[in-house]
């Protein structure tokens, strides 16, 4: 996966660039009434997804990858003639690339409070725009970013404005802390499992 959320995939006899930036994910959510994480879950689990949604993921990914809307729509209409498994696999990879980001750079864990989930796994885009306003980013800048890019930008902004911020725990430190917390003190019975 890449930092900008793009992935090059074969579809039919051609290789295309697919990308779903924040603006593309927002448009996809408005079109399908389902959020990106929920789309990915449904594609992976083969439950409750529709071919219309799968087609829309591919179409939005082509547009986000730089293709003209008319050409992307033409290709999306042609998906009906392709093997369904291939189309679902392509949509799954497009969505995973949009949500995953760079494999070699783990982003810091969120320190914010948990927000209750929205229906159909929808993403609260208001939070993106509110954060962008605080960072003096334009709407166009935010909509063109991948989720990974936005998160990295936000982390950099926060660190620049709070130089005393503590680095988040590494995965090893999190594991060690959990092991220490969950260890049974000497002389006490362990909790039943």
Q: Is the pLDDT of residue 26 over 70?
A: yes
The share of the chain scoring above pLDDT 90, in percent, equals: 30
Q: Is the pLDDT of residue 61 over 70?
A: yes
| pLDDT band (50, 70, 90) for residue 105 | low
| pLDDT band (50, 70, 90) for residue 116 | low
Tokens representing residue 32 in the block: 């399908």
* Sign of the torsion formed by the C-alpha atoms of 147, 148, 151 and 156: negative
CB 61 within 8 A of CB 24: yes
Phi, psi of 17 (to 5 degrees): -95, 130
Mean pLDDT on 51-77: 94
Tokens representing residue 64 in the block: 């986000």
Tokens representing residue 149 in the block: 């890019």
Q: Is the pLDDT of residue 123 over 80?
A: no
Q: Could you say which DSSP state residue 79 is in?
A: G
Closest alpha carbon to 123 in 50, 22, 44: 22
CA distances from 188 to 62, 182, 185 (A): 60, 12, 6
């Amino acid at each position: 996966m890449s930092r900008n959320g793009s992935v090059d995939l074969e579809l039919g006899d051609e290789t295309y660039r697919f990308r779903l930036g924040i603006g593309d994910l927002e448009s996809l959510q408005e079109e399908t009434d389902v959020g990106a994480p929920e789309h990915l879950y449904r594609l992976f689990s083969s439950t409750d997804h529709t071919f219309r949604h799968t087609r829309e993921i591919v179409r939005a990914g082509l547009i986000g990858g730089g293709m003209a809307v008319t050409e992307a729509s033409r290709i999306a209409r042609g998906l009906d003639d392709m093997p369904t498994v291939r189309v679902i696999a392509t949509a799954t990879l497009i969505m995973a690339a949009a949500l995953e980001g760079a494999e070699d750079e783990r982003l810091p864990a969120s320190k914010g409070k948990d927000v209750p989930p929205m229906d159909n796994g929808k993403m609260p885009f208001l939070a993106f725009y509110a954060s962008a306003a605080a960072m003096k980013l334009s709407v166009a800048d935010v909509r063109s970013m991948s989720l990974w890019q936005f998160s990295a930008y936000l982390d950099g902004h926060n660190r620049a404005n709070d130089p005393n911020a503590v680095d988040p725990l590494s995965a090893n430190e999190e594991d060690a802390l959990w092991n220490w917390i969950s260890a049974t003190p000497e002389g006490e019975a362990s909790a039943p499992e």
